[in-house]
Chains A and B, each alone.
Chain A
Amino acid sequence: MIQFMQQLINGISLGSIYALIALGYTMVYGIIKLINFAHGDIYMLGAYIGFVFATKTGMGFIPTLIVAMITCSIIGVVIEMIAYKPLRNATRITALITAIGVSYFIEASTQKVMGTNPRAFPNLLPKGNLNISGVVITYQQIFILVVTVLLMIGLQFVVTKTKIGRAMRAVSVDTDAARLMGVNVDQTISFTFALGSALAGAAGVLVGIYYNSINPLMGLVPGVKAFIAAVFGGIGIIPGAMLGGILIGVTEALVSGYGSSLYKDAVVYVILIIILVVKPAGLLGKNVREKV
């Protein structure tokens, strides 16, 4: 039981980070139907921006998090403007390949500027842990969970309660109808990229702190995992991405704990395959049937 609780807690803290990244995938997909494969690299950039900012200024956790989030949101908007906006009317495969190109570009540029070796991320959160009858929870895990929950609540507020959030949902349901209401669709898409990239940037800083080590290719695997999380929950559905992220994190932790950590990725992919076969629209997705 203690082992189970322990793995559950590890899984939830890891999964909440996947969820943060998955939200960006899902929001961008919801609005322009693009799987933004460069999204995992935004997360990596968030970690590097946090690293440079924290080591150069010696500032603490909160300022580092905010700087990483803001910088990433700007980078996300610029990428959308340069790489995806000109392809708005192109086929989806064109945009997808472009996204992969952007991903390689960001990775290679980071390797060039920061070097290929891993860097040690400064310790921005207090060390130590709580021991609740044998289950160990580190302060870092608590911090990660608190920060991700706050960010998700904030996102949910923006999406459901604000005018721009309404516009985001309207554009994702019916772009032309939103245009007929006077919504500036390009601005709404930019805003979506800004929001998603900010969350990825936050995830980058949190992972940097959690694992203590960052490298230019660190976005690859979590990027794919987060993508799976988004598909798992139902791509385009925001609560689905949160749920998917947590579930994948917990699955990985449980597989590592009870089986072997060698199998954790395999199990995640097997789950993806099962989901795609059994419920292709994802856990919270609706099977859309055209009404005639």
Chain B
Amino acid sequence: MSIPQALDPAAAVKAAFPDAIDDVREYAGDTTLVLKPEYLVRVAQYLRDTKGLVYNVLSDVSAVDYWPDYNRPGRFGVSYHLLSMLYRRRLRLKVYLAEDEPTVETVTGVWPGANWLEREAQDLMGIDFKGHPDSRRLMMPDDWQGHPHRRDYPLGYETVMFSFNAEEIMKHKPRATE
């Protein structure tokens, strides 16, 4: 069996889903496709199943918090690191999520290995993965409030509250999830 010619992921996705890609970035040899969140699962499925792409392994799901003054489309970023064993290359899919509704669809249907990786991001960063089969907390106790890896989560100490900063501090106290 011969290996089909490797395709450029950005061009292939652009051809299949003309509206899906917001931006293509290259840094230090990493390719990033910035996607519209609603296209994520379809693009993921396409990248896995298309000849010439075959990203068959999901290496990592990482969530970033750009708080406080983000110059990005949303407060949260979720990166999916894909690996193609056949072509020996990696690809990053990135979606930006809004502060008030950090929701994206789950990719567990494409790569079941996303199960715990997404649960971790959900637990520690408060990203809501819609349709996830098992969305309990993973690391923290079930009754924990807040999401410890967010940038506005207190680091084990609290700023002393005075009248001049009280309002600012109260604004960033972790809120109950439900």
Instruction: Tell me if chain B binds chain A.
Output: no
- A: residues with CB less than 8 A from B are none
- B: residues with CB less than 8 A from A are none
